[in-house]
Chain A
Amino acid sequence: MSGVNLSGIVKAYGALQVVHGIDLTVAEKEFVVLVGPSGCGKSTTLRMIAGLEEITDGDLTIHDRRVNRVAPKDRDVAMVFQNYALYPHLNVADNMAFGLRIRKMPKAEIKTTIADVAEILGLTPYLDRRPADLSGGQRQRVAMGRAIVRHPKVFLFDEPLSNLDAKLRTQMRAEIKRLHNRLGVTSVYVTHDQVEAMTLADRIVVMNDGRIEQVGTPMELFNNPANTFVAGFLGSPPMNQMKGMLTETGAKIGDAEIKINGAVAGHAGRDVIVGIRPEHVTLSDEGQSSALPISLDLVEPLGSEALLHARHGEDTLVFKADTNGDIAHLSGVGAVHVPSHLVKLFDAETGRALNLGT
């Protein structure tokens, strides 16, 4: 049984199509994160699952029941909104009880449910407060509490952390993860923040322009991005992408040539985009790697490591280096090394990952 299944989901506003046929299966108890730049259709997709947007075409099933035309309230899903949508005229307990009262749950049962959930979320001392008297993190918890009390089949999160400051966001992120581990409810989570996606997701769905670019576990996507878009979206800083041309043994970038593992032979002369993760660049020759001459632009110390901005011909290259407590030694860097087995290749025209076989 699948938790949520989307097949060929299309959303159009009149003639304008914003989601172009999405196929996705979310397993039961799975935590799936939809990530992508703003306007990529991720929120629209989530809202279609919620029932807040009509589905133009395709089939949506929740626990194997087709729900395309089922009202939101009958889909057995709960949603955490970006702005929390807490009712300002109700206190925390009443906010959480709102849905239960509408569903005519017996009073005693409501009381125990609220008490339980408040306990889980650490909201017990605040049950009598109005949302206006709560901190951002507490409001966020109430918003989740309101979803949890209903014991829905699916949790939907619409950028729930984007209104929090950076520190609180990290904290709440961990809390959401713990909560999911504890409750084990199928969750679909929308964010534009790739770090949130990486840390929370069992599987990430990268979306762009109303289409799915790639689906996979965080590490799959990080290690093997399907195209330059995914490569550029995940990782911080993102993968460096430089224009190059394949040779018999590697790729030529500007004047330099780097070695690449795998069967590049026979593809010589093909235009490619060479992808190099900032973490993979080293300052010294390690194993099978090749040197790339650079001119250093800027050194940004981050503490234990530093971010180096450099140029190689017309391309820019950002990479990380250990500081060992000092950045003075970094200012003289004139060349970097790229391990041959970690270089990614993409087709220069389509941007798709090239798999030339190992």
Chain B
Amino acid sequence: MMNWNLYSRGDKFFAMVVSVLIGMFTVATLYPFIYIAAVSFSSGFAAQAGKVVLTPIDATLEAYGYIITDPKFWISYRNTFIYTIGGTIMSLIFIVPCAYALSRPQLKGRRFFNLFIAFTMWFNAGLIPFFLNMRDLGLLDSMFGIILGFAVNAFNIILLRNFFESIPQSFEEAARMDGANDFQVLWKVFIPLSKPAIATITLFLIVARWNGFFWAMVLLQSEDKIPLQVFLRHTISNLSDDDEFAIVQTAAGFSAETVTAAIIVCSIIPVLIVYPFVQKYFEKGILLGGVKE
């Protein structure tokens, strides 16, 4: 980057204008989160009347009190952790060795296998056949079904394969001459050398699991198996037309809006905690998957 002192006056003005615009976009990005947080801490009456703009009005923890006393909230929270951790581990168990194998030039049929996997990115059977297949496999309403059925995707395999291919061949050769077999080459050389790439993929996997909603909604019926996102969805769509709730809330200090907002806050907080630590990885990671055969 060039030195600020070398900028002409016009350039400085231009840079300032751009900085202000960036600032506005940043604030616009951030504002909905602040707004939701403010709503979650406001009284139900204030929220319903649309009085909340930036800070909580008639600050109260009633909405949080309502959700943390709901056992379904905690069950779904626990389930999300199970899906996220179990699913991510399951995915890595499939993806890492597969990507390694596909990156080996000595693999016979390498082109075919690459195509076999990549083809699923271009063509998929769609919702219905996938659903019927899960049903035929007996994986409806099954936590294991959710973990296994979405363990692998072609994009992550290709991303990691590309990274493995970029590792100089001599690392593998040196390890081989040292007596390492493929499992040892992968475990002792390739995985340590690929930490950034694997971290990126792990991040993608965790985010996808944490946020996973549609198939959990479709495949899971039991309330004790649903993840947080589905619980949140149920809450959002049910609260407002639930008469019983309407009676409860007039007595208490919360409303459908504040409860929804409180669940959103609870669901975002883990993401916000992890986010700064992983940020350095995904910028590089997203480019790894980029453009390459």
Contacts and interface: CB of A to CB of B under 8 A. Distances in A.
A–B contact (CB under 8 angstroms): yes
Interface of A: 50-52, 71-73, 77-79, 81-83, 85, 87-90, 98-99, 102-103, 146, 150
Contact of B179 (A81, A90, A102): A102
B280 interface: no
B177 A82 contact: no
Nearest to B195: A89
Contacts of B170: 81-83, 85
A52 B175 CA distance: 11
Contacts of A150: 178
A98 B173 CA distance: 13
B188 interface: yes
Contacts of A77: 177
B177 A87 contact: no
Interface of B: 168, 170-171, 173-180, 184, 188-189, 192-193, 195
Contacts of A73: 176-180
A79 B177 contact: yes
Given A52-B173, A79-B173, A81-B174, A89 B192 contact: yes
B171 A87 contact: yes
B246 to A, nearest CB: 60
List of 9 A-B pairs having minimum Cβ-Cβ separation, nearest first: A99-B178, A73-B179, A85-B174, A85-B170, A89-B192, A81-B170, A102-B179, A72-B177, A72-B176
- Chain B CB count within 10 A is highest, among A72, A85, A88, for A85
B196 to A, nearest CB: 12
B177 A78 contact: yes
A232 B133 CA distance: 71
B contact patch SS: helix
A211 to B, nearest CB: 25
B173 A99 contact: no
Given A73-B178, A73-B179, A102-B180, A87 B173 contact: no
A146 B174 CA distance: 10
A223 to B, nearest CB: 37
Given A89-B193, A102-B179, A102-B180, A81 B173 contact: yes
B179 A88 contact: no
Nearest to A89: B192
Nearest to B176: A72
Contacts of A87: 171, 189, 192-193
A351 B247 CA distance: 105
Contact of A79 (B174, B180, B184): B174
Contacts of B179: 73, 99, 102-103
Contacts of B178: 73, 98-99, 102-103, 146, 150
A257 B179 CA distance: 63
Contacts of B192: 87, 89-90
A51 B172 CA distance: 13
Nearest to A80: B174
Nearest to B106: A54
Nearest to A103: B179
B125 to A, nearest CB: 37
Contacts of A79: 173-174, 177
Nearest to B180: A102
B188 A98 contact: yes
A50 B193 contact: no
Given A73-B178, A98-B188, A102-B178, A88 B193 contact: yes
B197 to A, nearest CB: 14
A81 B176 CA distance: 13
Contacts of B188: 98, 102
A85 B174 CA distance: 7
Nearest to A73: B179
Contacts of B173: 50, 52, 72, 79, 81, 85
B195 to A, nearest CB: 8
B236 to A, nearest CB: 47
B184 A50 contact: no
A83 B188 CA distance: 19
Contacts of A89: 192-193, 195
Contacts of A72: 173, 176-177
A71 B171 CA distance: 17
A77 B177 CA distance: 7
Contacts of B193: 87-89
A349 B180 CA distance: 51
A6 B174 CA distance: 22
